[in-house]
Copies of this chain bind each other. A is one copy, B any other.
Amino acid sequence: MSHHYTVIKGEDFTEMLSKKVVFILCIGNTKTAEIPGITVAGANPDLIKFTPPADAELLYYGYCKSIPFPPATPDGKPTPALITYTALKLVNCPLFIVNSGLIVKPKVPYIDIGLSVGENILKRSAMKIENIREAFKRAKIIGNEISKYADVIMIAESIPAGTTTAGAVLKALGKKFAVSSSMPENPINIKLKVIDKAVKRVKSRDVFHIISEVGDPVMVGVMGIAIGSKKPVVLAGGTQMAAIAHLINEIKTKIETEAKRDDEINDVNVSIATTKYVVEDRSADMISISPDVNIIAVDPGLEKTSKPGLKAYAKGFVKEGVGAGGATLLAYANGITQKQFLKELEESYVRIIEKQ
């Protein structure tokens, strides 16, 4: 097994990933992404809403259908879905897409759990609490059904401006809330302004209340699937998954106090896998914002590539998303070396990006 990864916290769970893993991508939108300058997850503001469905299409088809080219930043850095696509193809892992509150539906099969797009948390509450409860219940069913034959569920996300809602949730929970960004110059000031204003609406530490005020719908999908699973769960992502791991901990410890709750809450084993680019991000602080769960930082070795769009990742652009870090670890756990992986990734890049 390749050792191009580092255990940052807890134990090394990589070996578990050589068993039967199911990869689930939760995609959604928050209108928080409409705040100018808050995200670069789209070549221009009009395209941001297409990024999650286009990421899903790329994973199944190797090209996008909702837009004529893969998602990219305004300066042309391609979506991390390229990395995830390459990894999942190599290990032939089952993939399911969950509509966790999309504006535009993807042109692939997807699981619907009844979520709508999240509102702009700068202006108003993100979602209705009844919608969260119902979607959480449905997401738990998915986690439960899939965990019957899977040994591990890996859950990834794609939601532009998701680091801002993650920061707001962390602050509302009273945690450190430095969060990463898809830009090398993290727009901290804009994010802080949004987070501060949004969190003023939060009146309690109840998880559903916090999400309904300052969260986003992808959190509901990821959290529900994780809590519904009877097998270990790996959250594949950066600071967003750190926030969700805190939410899961809150639910696991607080659920008894909720009245009339007939729902089953599994004591799910949660770990996080992300790229080393997130962990090395000085503007965020992945390690200290995360709860006490196993965390692995994966090194895709992108500083070694000649492909400019990929090399940029090693310089702090994009960094993570669509479960790129977790998917790379999955490839490593299944005997792919960093060198082989990089070669395959470059071939994906040539076919999907350069030949456009």
Residues of A within 8 A of B (CB): 20, 22, 60, 92-96, 99, 105, 107-114, 134, 138-139, 141-142, 145-146, 148-150
Contact = CB atoms under 8 A, between A and B. Distances in A.
Contacts of A94: 145-146, 148-149
Given A99-B112, A109-B141, 17 more contacts: A20-B149, A22-B149, A60-B141, A92-B148, A94-B146, A95-B145, A96-B145, A105-B112, A108-B141, A109-B111, A109-B112, A109-B113, A109-B114, A109-B139, A110-B112, A111-B112, A149-B150
Contacts of A111: 109-112
Given A94-B148, A148-B94, A109 B142 contact: yes
A130 to B, nearest CB: 12
A28 to B, nearest CB: 15
A128 to B, nearest CB: 16
Contacts of A138: 108-109
Copies of this chain held together in the complex? 2
A142 B94 CA distance: 9
A158 to B, nearest CB: 18
Contacts of A113: 109
A332 B356 CA distance: 54
- Of A107, A109, A134, A139, most B-chain CB atoms within 10 Å: A109
- 10 smallest CB-CB distances across A and B, nearest first, come from A109-B138, A149-B149, A94-B148, A94-B145, A109-B113, A109-B142, A112-B112, A109-B141, A111-B111, A109-B111
A155 to B, nearest CB: 15
A330 to B, nearest CB: 14
Contacts of A141: 60, 108-109
Contact of A107 (B22, B114, B146, B150): B114
A136 to B, nearest CB: 11
15 contacts: A20-B149, A60-B141, A94-B145, A94-B149, A95-B145, A96-B145, A107-B114, A108-B138, A109-B113, A109-B114, A109-B138, A109-B139, A110-B111, A112-B112, A149-B149
A111 B108 CA distance: 10
Contacts of A22: 149
A148 B60 CA distance: 15
A93 B148 CA distance: 8
Nearest to A65: B134
A283 to B, nearest CB: 37
Nearest to A147: B94
A114 B57 CA distance: 14
A156 to B, nearest CB: 15
Contacts of A142: 109
A227 B60 CA distance: 17
A58 to B, nearest CB: 14
A149 B21 CA distance: 9
A64 to B, nearest CB: 15
A299 to B, nearest CB: 28
A139 B148 CA distance: 21
